[in-house]
Amino acid sequence: MMTIPAIKIEQVHKSFGKLNALRGVDLQIEQGEFFALLGPNGAGKSTLINILAGLMRPGSGHLSVLGHDVVADYRKARRLLGVVPQELVFDPFFNVREMLRFQAGYFGRGPENDPWIDEVLEGLGLTDKAYSNMRALSGGMKRRALIAQALAHKPPVLVLDEPTAGVDVEVRQMLWAFINRLNKAGTTIILTTHYMEEAQTLCSRVAMLKQGEIVALDSTRNLLNRLQTKQLRLKLKGPLPQSLLPLKRGESGDYVTLNLAATTEVEYILAELRAANVVVEDLQLIEADLEDVFLDIMGNHR
């Protein structure tokens, strides 16, 4: 039996005057995926999320959450979705627990939902702030509270729009530990981020958006395999031998970087350095990461 996709986006267009923000986006995200939606500022990521959340309507095309059209069946689709916005938007009159209870209530959940709210508070390190007013929280705590708010009604699909912007490393790791737990329990996660290492580490599949169009859509592994280039970064005691100059990519401080066509070239390079009596003080093999792939793809789609 075919499984209903968590998110299905079909030929979605959206314009603001003469600006074409989305130009025929097609995308399907399966249940249980941890999916990255990447792109430069102005690519259309937030527009797509806003349409998905029912905050604006598509110019044309269809979007559904677990089979429910976001326009024709708005209430059901919205109940199945949790959205963490980029902006720190909160109600200044409530403490954290009250805010989460109200949020859950908007989706028809009552006191029976309290154990879940307790679990979310604990998972996000907010238990000791449960009765603190939102205004009294630090920026990092507010960010956690917004993630808790998106989860308050226990949605099966969670959209995280730049969730760790401005958050310190310790808080970021704690957030991802909790989000990973949710994903392993079956929650579908859609992430937008400018931190490429987050997407590379967390997400199994990636879509890259540029000027309202999807310019790449593949598994993270396949995208990383697109760039086969490797580099060898060396700190040398002595000049680079003439025979290795064609491999030279650049210099930075005491280090020289060489381009490799294959890892097997390392043996040849070290042999040439030994023959020239050049001592290697430090050596680093650098492989392409998702940021390199992203820059390459964005540069090739003008």
Q: What is the pLDDT of residues 17-62, one digit of tens each?
A: 999 999 999 999 999 999 999 999 889 999 999 999 999 999 999 9
**In one letter, which amino acid is 286?**
I
If pLDDT is split at 50, 70 and 90, which confidence band does 2 have?
low
In the prediction, which pLDDT does 15 show?
Answer: 95
**CA atoms of 153 and 103, how far apart (whole Å):** 7
In this prediction, what percent of the chain has a pLDDT beyond 70? 98
User: Distance of alpha carbon 233 from its chain centroid, rounded?
Assistant: 29
| Coil vs helix vs strand at 161 | strand
User: Which tens digits make up the pLDDT trace of 140-185?
Assistant: 888 889 899 999 999 999 999 988 877 778 888 888 999 999 999 9
If you average pLDDT over every residue of the chain, what do you get? 89
Whether the Cβ atoms of residue 32 and residue 61 lie closer than 8 Å to each other: no
In the prediction, which pLDDT does 200 show?
Answer: 92
pTM for this model (two decimals): 0.83
| Coil vs helix vs strand at 174 | helix
Region 264-271 average pLDDT:
88
In the prediction, which pLDDT does 257 show?
Answer: 87
Task: Cite the DSSP H helix spans in the chain.
Answer: 45-52, 74-79, 96-106, 114-123, 139-151, 169-184, 196-202, 220-226, 265-275, 290-300
